[in-house]
Amino acid sequence: MILITGGAGYIGSHTNKLLNSEGYETVVVDNLVKGYESFVKWGSFENCDFGSSKLRDVFEKYDIEGVIHFAAFSSVAESVEIPQKYFKNNYKNTLNLLKIMREFNVDKFIFSSTASVYGIPEKVPITEDQLLKPINPYGHSKWITEKALEREAEKGDFNYVSLRYFNAAGCDFDCEIGELHDPETHLIPLVLDAAIGNRESVSIFGTDYNTPDGTCIRDYIHVNDLASAHIEAYKYLCEENKSNVFNLGNGEGYSVREVIDMCKKVTEKDFKVEITDRREGDPDILIADSSKIRNELGWQPEYDLETIVKSAWMWHQKINSI
């Protein structure tokens, strides 16, 4: 059985669905601070904080063979405001999880890392061997956790795969689960909120970046492509006795303006777009070089930006019609 922390959240719930559809047994551990119980439609569920000693009971109860660790706080802006919250949950609590895994001889671990570990990249597309220089506490908390994993693996009887996500986007095509953050800070759901009429306008955070249209460029990857990468990573851990780190992106960049235009095209709605100041800590361009995961795990992303936006729009319409 695979234990999924944060399996009631956005990426965790999509991965849980895919794992179950491929015949894996799962148990979701989530404290429902950010997640939704209604998103746990597959496998077992334990309402538990992964940083608490109660987690030991979950390991007692189930026959856990591996852990996929999504649970974390992930707002860059909040991490700048309250750094200790991020270091405690994302780093220290992960040490609790690792300690309990050791007690129960569970040796396979998949970690949700982030492109934020690179900070301002030296060159794009970004390869995994670039220097890690996070520029905010969120990225820093993930980076030191990667370091802890590296040391843990050096001790032996433990292997991990760290997946550095670029911009997760899009939703389940059946609309059973989707993206639902409170507060929402991500570009695509905010733009769709304007398209549906819940907000008057969309803000572009800065048009003076060093990019062709002056707005930031990001690499958007469909959440189901992220989910399938976790399955490939799990198979890798079962077959190979080693650890690894992979970027997880489409390898294509889109500017904020291009994303807004795509949302207008897909939704066939027009809405006001305002230009505001830059948001703190946004690098000009983040695009993954994902050739390593393509070559070593045989993983391929399936979905382009248009499909990402279409799936997000279906979900957005569903949750706003209730």
Task: Determine contact, residues 81/75, Cβ cutoff 8 Å.
Answer: no
- Single residue of 27, 55, 64, 204 touching ligand UDP by CB under 6 A: 204
- Single residue of 80, 133, 205, 307 touching ligand UDP by CB under 6 A: 205
Q: Is 149 in the site for ligand UDP (CB under 6 A)?
A: no
Smaller CB separation from ligand UDP, 227 or 256:
256
Pure H helices in the chain: 10-21, 55-61, 76-81, 83-86, 93-103, 137-155, 187-196, 223-239, 256-267, 291-297, 305-321
Give the binding range for ligand UDP (CB under 6 A) out of 79-87, 129-137, 143-151, 179-187: 179-187
Q: Is 256 in the site for ligand UDP (CB under 6 A)?
A: yes
- Single residue of 53, 185, 210, 300 touching ligand UDP by CB under 6 A: 185
* Site size for ligand UDP (CB under 6 A): 14
User: What CA–CA distance (Å, rounded) separates 138 from 79?
Assistant: 5
Q: Is 279 in the site for ligand UDP (CB under 6 A)?
A: yes
Q: Is 226 in the site for ligand UDP (CB under 6 A)?
A: no
Task: Determine contact, residues 148/95, Cβ cutoff 8 Å.
Answer: yes
User: What CA–CA distance (Å, rounded) separates 114 from 268?
Assistant: 32
3-state SS assignment for residue 40: coil
Smaller CB separation from ligand UDP, 48 or 263:
263
Catalytic residue of the set 138, 165, 234, 254:
138
Smaller CB separation from ligand UDP, 55 or 226:
226
Task: Determine contact, residues 50/97, Cβ cutoff 8 Å.
Answer: yes
- Single residue of 94, 162, 167, 228 touching ligand UDP by CB under 6 A: 167
24 assigned to active site: no
State the minimum distance, in angstroms, from the CB of residue 40 to ligand UDP.
25
For residue 186 the two structure tokens come to 């991500």
What are 286's strand-pairing partners?
218
Pure H helices in 117-272: 137-155, 187-196, 223-239, 256-267
Q: Is 216 in the site for ligand UDP (CB under 6 A)?
A: yes
Q: Per-residue string for binding with ligand UDP, 67-86, x by CB under 6 A?
A: ---------x----------
Give the binding range for ligand UDP (CB under 6 A) out of 140-148, 203-211, 267-275, 309-317: 203-211
What one-character DSSP code corresponds to residue 302? -
Candidates 215, 226, 187; CA nearest to 285 is 215
Candidates 17, 138, 25, 19; CA nearest to 74 is 138
Q: Is 269 in the site for ligand UDP (CB under 6 A)?
A: no
- Single residue of 186, 264, 269, 292 touching ligand UDP by CB under 6 A: 186
CB-based contacts of 207: which residues, under 8 Å, 6+ apart?
213, 214, 215, 275
Q: Is 164 in the site for ligand UDP (CB under 6 A)?
A: no
Give the residue numbers marked as catalytic. 138
For ligand UDP, the binding residues (CB under 6 A) are 76, 167, 185-187, 190, 203-205, 216, 218, 256, 279, 282
